[in-house]
Amino acid sequence: MELLAAIATGLAAVAGLPGVVVDRLATDFLKQQLAKVEVLEVRVDNTPNHQILAGRVDRLRVAARGIYPLLFLRVDTLELETDAIEIDTASLQRGPVRFRQPVRAAVRVVLQDEDLNQALRSPEILAVFPTIEANLAGNRSGGRYQLTAPELRFLAENRVRISAVLTPEAGGATLPVAVESGLALQGGTRLALVEPRASLAGEPLPSQLVEAFARGLNRALDLRVLAPQGLTVRMLQFQIEPGRLQLVGFAQWQFPDTPIAP
């Protein structure tokens, strides 16, 4: 939504210019809001073009490859196409940007596991990994472990593998931990683990522990948790293949001061 608001602000400054100029300036303006982008194209469809002055955009299309919303996070492909957008022009002067009706868009996202692994290995992400306190591998007194070397792999047939290494703070042997599971789309609003398996130091973990972990993760993968922030997401297509994840769906941004969508 921040990107749409940024584009809306830029459009107000170029209203009335020829369409090809508007597209180029909107593209340049969006590039300035990103940490980095390899390929980016923004198309603003409006007839007549000067209706931007009244806050209306018929359709906005964004196509990007190698987009970095953060310096350490690369999104391989992002394609976004909105319905008509109604901007509250008064908000452009006083900020923040507001919309007179919910913003709806079709979205396609492609993620590469190698890009995600580079993000997982970045200092920004490693810094948030917690220290784990647990009784592992026969250590009855328990211990504190650092989670290191995280890795994510997209596999065939909608399966994913997550691995890491537990390093004891007091020294000693490290413990590799891994989880492999299928992922299924349920009701268009959540992803669920399918037949998850987990191991620690090469030994399978008890099924009760794995199932408890799966229940917690399934709750985290429920996209309905975004509703309190005014964001509704419905996935229409979900596909994992070796090295690659593709999501195709629909998103709607609802603001407290916009009319309720029908």
pLDDT tens digits along 147-160:
888 899 999 999 99
| 17 & 80 share domain | yes
Domain containing residue 175 = 130-222
pLDDT score, position 260: 44
Res. 129 pLDDT band, cuts 50 70 90: confident
| 153 & 205 share domain | yes
| 40 & 111 share domain | yes
Q: Is 112 domain-assigned?
A: yes
Q: Is 231 domain-assigned?
A: yes
pTM of the model: 0.82
pLDDT at 5 over 80: no
Spatial separation of the C-alpha atoms in residues 242 and 106, rounded to whole Å: 25
Closest of 106, 111, 47 to residue 82, by C-alpha: 106
Q: Is 217 domain-assigned?
A: yes
| 112 & 181 share domain | no
| 229 & 215 share domain | no
- The total number of structural domains in the chain stands at 2
Q: Is 262 domain-assigned?
A: no
| 216 & 234 share domain | no
Q: Is 124 domain-assigned?
A: no
